[in-house]
Amino acid sequence: MMVSTLRAFAPTFNRYPSRAFSIKTQMGSITRNPDAHSSTSKPTETPITLREWQGWGSTSPVPTMVTEIIDELKVLEKNVDAQMSFGGNGGKLQGYFKTQEDKKHRATYKALGSSEQKLQFFSARQIACRLLGSRDYLCQKCWLPVEDCMCSRVKHYSLWDGARFWLYMHPKDFLRQNNTGKLLLQVFGVEATTLSLYGIAEHEEIMWNAFKLAGKSKVCCLYPNKNATSKGIQEAFGSELSTKQENTQQLTDGDGILNFILIDGTWSNSAAMFNRLKEQAILVWGEDIPCISLSTGSSAMHKLRPQPSWDRTCTAAAAASLLSELQIVPKFSSVDFGKQGEALEDALEVLLEALTARRIRMGRSITRKVRHASSFC
């Protein structure tokens, strides 16, 4: 259930202070439908630890509401005397437990008083279920089934220390196998890419605290929406400073780091995500969030995950194109953005090969028909 109109979320942050916490109850046995995944996980009774949570790509503490929902799932498991069972895309709940949990979470959602509360509940529930459903099945780094792990073929490459990516991800894309945003975490590492999950208060607080510190002039959102006022790369960066080397170095000093926001979700979901960013930018700066657009188009991932149109592309390809276009800006001539973009493109090819090989192995088609206008990876 998606919330179309979202209120500003700043006032709600105090409800979830960033702090360490413990889980009071132990997770029970979790089973997986072997028909859905062709794999059965071993039962586990361990909770979601900080180490496990951060293993998926986050640098934050485990979100409070995610922990609360996992605890509630455990209580429900006892009350209905049925084990949690997961399967299908995204590690979805299945069977009798799913039926009972659907009734409970729909009632909870309906009783919430504001759209903000509903969004936070929706996001936390999505993430909680995906975390539990992916255990002992997906590789924590590449988010592919363990037997299809591609990590050994992905090469790490350092991003220029004057830039940082913020991967603003929809919860339905979290741990999604064909998601490409995860490649930024694999290639550049958490030192240069921060995962920020949409609707997770702690993540959005961390992100906006960084933006406030950096200042509006050092924050921009890569969003190819014709209805949004955006600048091309040359227009946004080409005329600010001269081509002297010391000016490039100056960008890395103090709060001079350039913060690039990448919206990582389906095209239909990205509109709500972008609106949320705009609303918060107006609260913080009194103006819309600065946007930039690319002059390049599609990527190889169209073969497996079609876009609404060929001028739209997946998250990793968009980031690679951004780096490629930054390379030709005179003041960035010494930064070597080109090679950084190539490293990301190489990782995208590895992902495409891994997904293709899996489809062939499972007897599935390696091409997909366009079903809906929804695939911003």
Q: Give the three-state DSSP class for 368.
A: coil
Largest CA distance in the chain: 69
Q: What is the pLDDT of residue 313?
A: 83
Give the residue, 363 or 69, on which the prediction is more confident: 69
- The helix (run of H) or strand (run of E) holding residue 351 is helix 337-361
Question: In which residue are the tokens 């071993």 written?
Answer: 42
Range ranked top by mean pLDDT from 40-49, 60-69, 228-237, 357-366: 60-69
Q: Give the three-state DSSP class for 31.
A: strand
- CA of 309: how far to CAs of 12, 148, 352, in Å? 37, 29, 19
- pLDDT tens readout for residues 316-325: 999 999 999 9
- CA of 131: how far to CAs of 76, 137, 218, 243, 300, in Å? 17, 10, 33, 47, 28
Alpha-carbon gap, residue 37 to 86, rounded angstroms: 9
Question: In which residue are the tokens 């990782």 written?
Answer: 347
Q: What is the pLDDT of residue 342?
A: 97
Q: Give the three-state DSSP class for 269.
A: helix
Residue of 145, 170, 115 whose CA lies nearest to 5: 115
Alpha-carbon gap, residue 16 to 6, rounded angstroms: 18
Q: At what angle do helices 115-134 and 95-111 cross, to 10 degrees?
A: 160
**pLDDT classification of 75: cutoffs 50, 70, 90:** very high
**Helices (DSSP H) in the chain: which residue ranges?**
34-37, 50-55, 64-80, 95-111, 115-134, 182-188, 201-214, 233-237, 245-250, 267-285, 315-327, 337-361
Q: What is the pLDDT of residue 181?
A: 97
What is the phi/psi pair of residue 277, to 5°? -65, -45
User: Residue 272, Cβ neighbours under 10 Å: how many?
Assistant: 18
Bridging pattern class, strands 231-232 and 291-293: parallel
Predicted structure pTM score: 0.83
**pLDDT classification of 87: cutoffs 50, 70, 90:** confident
- pLDDT tens readout for residues 248-260: 445 544 448 999 9
